[in-house]
Amino acid sequence: MSNSASEKILTLRKIIRDHDYKYYILNQPTITDYDYDRLLNELKELENKYPNLITPDSPTQRVGSDLTNEFKNIHHSIPMLSLSNAYSLEELRDFDRRVKDGLSEGSIPEYVCELKIDGVSISINYENGLLKYAATRGDGTIGEDVTQNVKTIRSLPLIVTPKEDLHDILNFEVRGEIYFEKEEFQKLNAEREANGEKLFANPRNSAAGTIKLLDPKQVSKRPLRVFLYYFFTDEYAVQSQDENLKILKKLGFRINENFRVCGTIAEVEEFCNKWEVTRENLPYEIDGVVIKVNSIQHQKNLGNIAKAPKWAVAYKFKPQQKTTLLKNITWQVGRTGAITPVAELEPVLLAGSTISRATLHNPDEIERKNLMIGDFVLIEKGGDVIPKIVSVDFSLRQDSVTKIEIPEQCPVCKGPLVKNVDEVALYCVNRDCPAQLKGKLIHFTSRTAMNIEGLGDSLIETLVDNNFLNTFTDIYDLKSKRELLINLERMGEKRVDNLLTSIENSKSTPFPKVLFALGIRYVGAGAANKLAMHFKSIDKLISASHEEIEAINEIGPRISSSVKDYFSDKENLRIIDSLKKHNINFFIDSEISISNTLEGKSFLVTGTLVKFTRDEIKDAIQKNGGKPVTSLSKKTDYLIVGDNPGSKVQKATELGIPILDEDTFVQMIEGKSNV
C-alpha cells in the first residue's frame, strides 16, 4: 500500500462528508449528483484495492448499498433506478409541469398512480418461462443473488406457461416489492421477543432482514409476499405501464389492484389524498404513491437524470401521527450513566407497530414540551425506528394531571446523580451501577464493536443478574462456565457452543474496533479509528499527551479530555491489562505484505469461519499475494470452506476446484502445503 493511497482515501472521505453536510443538512449542494457519484466511485475503487483501509465510518459503508459477502453478485442488465420524491402537492404539480415541458408540444401525458409499498425491491428473471434468478437492488447496478430465498414466496410462479394472446413471451424480467403484512410482522416480532431475539423496527426492516437470511429454510417459515409492478422483455414492445400491469397479471403475477390511470394531475392529487387517509385500512404498509407517466414512448422521450427517471415520482405521505395517553415516565440508565426519560404510553397502533414507549432526550424536553402525567400527547413515527412525542394536546388536559418528578438518585442503583456543567443530561456516577454495566456490555459486544453473535441484550441482562459478568474480561472467562450456561433458561448446548465460538472469534477484532468497543465517552467509531490509526497501539495512546491527541485532524479537546480521563482510571487500565492477557488486539499490525505464497491465486470463501472474520481472511489472502473473489467460476483457484457452507461446495466439486479448510489455508500461507 502506498502512503499516497491512504492519504487520497482520507481526502476523498473528507470532501464527500462535506458535500453530504451541504446536501443533507444545509440543503445547499454545491456539486451535481453526477460529480458526487464520481467522487464516491473513486473512493470505492481505492477501498476495493486496499480493503484493509476500509473503516466503519467511510461514506462507502452507508446503507445505500446492501451488498454483503454472503451472496453472489448479480449485474442488473437494466439498472434498478430509484425515484425522486415529492413531499407536497405543489411538488407534485412541479413534476407535472416538468413532464409536460419535457414532451413535445401538445402531448398530454397520462399517469398511472400506484401505491408505494414499503418493502424491499426485487428483480426476478425468467428464461424460457422458468424463474432463473432473483436479485436485490444492491447499489442499482449490482445486486445480490437471493434466488433461493425468493423462491420460497408462495405467490410467485416458478414457471410461467406460454399465453397465445401474449405472443408467447417466455423470456422477461419482472420487478416489484417484497413485504410483510402488518399482522404477520407483529406475529414475527412476538416470536422473536419470546425467543429473546432483537425486534425488527418495522415491516420493511423485517422484509429486508428476511430476504438476506443465509438459510432459505428459515425464509420459507416466514410469510413474505410480493407485488410486481415492472415488466420488461425483448420479445414484445409494451406500450404503457398499465399494459405492463395487465401482462403481469395475465402471466400469473400478483399485482396491486389499487392503481388508477389518471388523465390529469388533479385526478392524481385526488388519488394521493384518498390513500393518505385510508392507508391505515390496508393490511400492509404504504409510505406514498408512485406516479408514472403511462406511455412507454413518453417515458423514453423523457429519459433519466442521474439515478432516477424523469417520468416517475414518489409522492411521500406525512409521517403518521396518533394521540395517546402519557401514563408515566420511567428513567433509563445508559452505558455512560446518562439518565433519560422514557414515556410510557397507552399502547396504540401506529405505522404498522404497537407503540407503548417513546424516548424523550433529556429532562429539559419534559419542561420544554410542558408534559404532565395523564396528558394526551401526539406521537409520530417517521420513516424509522423510535417514535417521538410531538406535542401535548392541551385541549384534552384534565385537572387530574400530575407533575413529572425529576429523580434525585439513580433509578437502578440509587446512587447520586450529577449534572455536568454545560450539559443538560443527568448522570449516575456509581461505577458499579448494574444498568451502566449492561449498557457497556451491549455496546462492547455489538456488531460494529467486538461483534459477538449470540450475546444479545436479554442474555447480557441475565448474565449480569446472575453474576456471570461484571467486566468485559468476564466474557472471555465464560468458557470455563459452559455447564452453568447450558442450564440457563433458553440456552442449551448448541447455543452455548455457538456463543463460545463467537467469543473466541472476537479476539481477532482489529484494534480500531476494540478501542471503539471500550465505550470511551465521545469516542465513536470514527474517532476510535483515527486514534488507533495514529497511535498504532493502546500503550502509545495511554501515554499520549493532550497536545499529541489533539494534533490529529478532527480530534478536539472534548475527545482528548475524555480519553485522558478514561486512562487515568486505574480500574480501566486493569481491565485493559486483563483483556490483553486474553489476546485481544490492542495494536495495529502495519505490515502489509507478509509473503507472496498465494501469488496469482484467487480464493472464494464460503460458510462460517472459526479462525478469521470475513474481513480478516480477505486481508490475509491479499497480504500474501492472493486475490479474494466473490463468485465461483472456472477461473477460481480455491474454495475456502467454513461451517454450513451451502451449495458452493458442490459447484466447486463439479468444476474441479480444490477445497480448503481454514487450517490448510493457514498452512498454505506458511508454505507448508500447496494443495
Residues that bind ligand IVH (CB under 6 A): 81-83, 114, 116-117, 121, 177, 229, 290, 309, 312, 314
- Return all residues near 545 (Cβ < 8 A) that are at least 6 apart: none
Instruction: Determine contact, residues 304/81, Cβ cutoff 8 Å.
Output: yes
- Residue from 44, 49, 116, 182 carrying the catalytic annotation: 116
Residue closer to ligand IVH, measured from CB, 291 or 459: 291
Least distance (Å) between residue 224 CB and ligand IVH: 15
Nearer to ligand IVH, 227 or 566 (CB): 227
How many C-beta neighbours within 10 Å does residue 362 have? 17
Choose between 116 and 648: whose C-beta lies nearer to ligand IVH. 116
Alpha carbon separation from 52 to 68, 91, 536, 615 (Å, rounded)? 16, 44, 14, 8
**How far apart are CB 309 and ligand IVH at their closest, in Å?**
5
- CA-CA distance, 99 to 111, in Å (whole number)? 10
| CB closer to ligand IVH, 226 vs 668 | 226
Tell me, yes or no, if 116 is annotated catalytic: yes
Q: Which ranges in 151-197 belong to alpha helices (H)?
A: 182-194
Largest CA distance in the chain: 82
Q: Report d(CA 181, CA 207) in Å as an integer.
A: 10
* Nearest residue to the partner ligand IVH, using Cβ: 121
The nearer residue to ligand IVH, 81 or 238, going by C-beta atoms, is: 81
Q: How far apart (Å, rounded) are the C-alpha atoms in residues 628 and 17?
A: 29
Name the amino acid, one letter, at 486. Answer: I
Question: 341 in helix, strand or coil?
Answer: strand
Q: Which residues have CB under 8 Å from 514's CB, separation 6+?
A: 449, 450, 579, 584, 585, 586
* Percent of residues in the chain assigned helix, strand, coil, to nearest 5: 40, 20, 40
DSSP state for residue 145 in the 8-state scheme: B
In whole angstroms, the minimum distance from the beta carbon of 304 to ligand IVH comes to: 8
Distances in whole angstroms, Cα of residue 185 to Cα of each of 204, 222, 283: 9, 9, 11
Q: Which is nearer to ligand IVH, 96 or 177 (CB)?
A: 177
Nearer to ligand IVH, 66 or 453 (CB): 66
CB of 110 to ligand IVH, least distance (A): 16
* Joined grid coordinates for residue 246: 395487465
Amino acid letter for position 138: G
Q: How far is the CB of 556 from ligand IVH (least distance, A)?
A: 38
Quote the least distance from Cβ 166 to ligand IVH, whole Å. Answer: 22
Collapsing DSSP to helix, strand or coil, 212 comes out as: coil
Alpha carbon distances (Å) from 529 to 23, 508, 544: 25, 16, 16
Relative to beta strand 627-629, strand 260-262 is unpaired
- Smallest gap from residue 278 Cβ to ligand IVH (A): 17
Q: Which residues are catalytic?
A: 116
